[in-house]
Structure 1
Amino acid sequence: MITIQQEAGTVTFEEFVTARGAALVRLARGLLRDPDTAEDVVQDVLAKALLKWGRISSADDPVAYVNRMVVNASTSFWRRAARREHATDQLPDAGYGDATGQLADRDELLAALRELPTKQRTVLVLRHFEDYSDEQIADLLDVTTGTVRSNAHRGLATLRTALSR
């Protein structure tokens, strides 16, 4: 996980977006079923973050603050039933070439991940795509570490079942 290490309040919004923009989109793509929607959610979050950048940049951890905004915006998106869309077959950009077998495996994994309940999917994406610890996830989602572990356990069990078929 990349952190922004500068004196408090001196990180500009542009520097933050340059350093963390791609990671925010990856996070949203893991949480949402449609990559285009994920990019829209991140764009909306960054627009809101720009308006509050003075407060965000002076926070203890601006990265966690904006990540929380992305998680909340993704959750809010799914709460609006009228906006629910079907899953797409597009994959997140991995930044490297895939062999055919790896591409098929990743496609199957992402399809199964998209079928998980929101909390389980969120925990697994934060843990395995963003390399957050259970404590960081608990702080981000405002739940206990036990809840994080429970959601991770249930989500992984569901994925194993879905992928073993």
Structure 2
Amino acid sequence: MDVEWRSFEAYVRGRTVALSRIAYLLTGDHHLAEDLVQQTFLSVAGRWQRLVTEGDPDPYVRRVLYHQHVSWWRRARRITHVSLAGVDPPAPDRADQVGVTVAVQRALARLGPRQRAALVLRYFEDLTEVETAAVLGCRVGTVKSQVRDGLARLRVLAPELAELLEVRS
């Protein structure tokens, strides 16, 4: 048990920053992102031995993170707009990209959680449509429509990002 615990501790230390960035993109709030990552690690801790024996635990952990976020959203549904004004980004940006970063964060915050999750998985984590569908637990067609609708909504919400969106489409 001690070896498995050390393995879990090493995983948590190694993946907390990356998972926190993803959680921040999903929630738009540093504190909620920290809570989401902690809740994900708590959910995974009890299954850690099985996950390690089956191979790479990372896809499962990310899937738990995304499902946990959707569950929070379904329970809360009280937050309709998350303002990112005055919030520092989780990692330092290069000066020439600050404007784009802020515009993307604000636009993502105005999307629904499913569209936001699909866009983050496809374009931030660079997963394929099949991998994204596996993480979200839905069909590939659902991923395609969520991404299409999310990009269309981003074009309306943030027309200044149109050039960036055209490159990605």
TM-score (norm 1): 0.82
Structure 1 stretches of 5 or more lacking a match?
1-8
Match in the other structure for 2:83: 87
Alpha-carbon distance between aligned partners in 1 of 2:123 and 2:69, rounded to the nearest angstrom: 18
Contact kept, 8 Å, 1:112 with 1:162, in 2: the verdict is yes
Match in the other structure for 2:165: none
Deviations 1:40-71 (A, max 9, x none): 11012112222221122223441111001111
Match in the other structure for 2:112: 117
Match in the other structure for 1:54: 49
Alpha-carbon distance between aligned partners in 2 of 1:65 and 1:52, rounded to the nearest angstrom: 10
After TM superposition, the structure 1 = structure 2 runs for residues 108-147 of structure 1, keeping only pairs within 5 Å, are: 108-147=103-142
1:64 is aligned with what amino acid?
P
Q: How far did residue 82 of structure 1 move?
A: 7.2
Contact kept, 8 Å, 1:33 with 1:88, in 2: the verdict is yes
Alpha-carbon distance between aligned partners in 1 of 2:158 and 2:23, rounded to the nearest angstrom: 23
Alpha-carbon distance between aligned partners in 1 of 2:77 and 2:138, rounded to the nearest angstrom: 28
Contact kept, 8 Å, 1:124 with 1:152, in 2: the verdict is yes
**Greater share of helix:** 2
Greater RCO structure (CA 8 Å; 6+ sep) = 1
SS at match of 2:54: coil
Q: Tell me which stretches of 4 or more aligned residues in structure 1 moved more than 6 Å.
A: none
Alpha-carbon distance between aligned partners in 1 of 2:104 and 2:16, rounded to the nearest angstrom: 24
Contact kept, 8 Å, 2:23 with 2:37, in 1: the verdict is yes
Distance 1:109 1:82, change over 3 A: closer
Match in the other structure for 1:3: none
Whether 2:25 is the aligned partner of 1:30: answer: yes
Q: How far did residue 135 of structure 1 move?
A: 1.0
RMSD: 2.3
Aligned residues: 155
Alpha-carbon distance between aligned partners in 1 of 2:29 and 2:15, rounded to the nearest angstrom: 20
TM-score (norm 2): 0.80
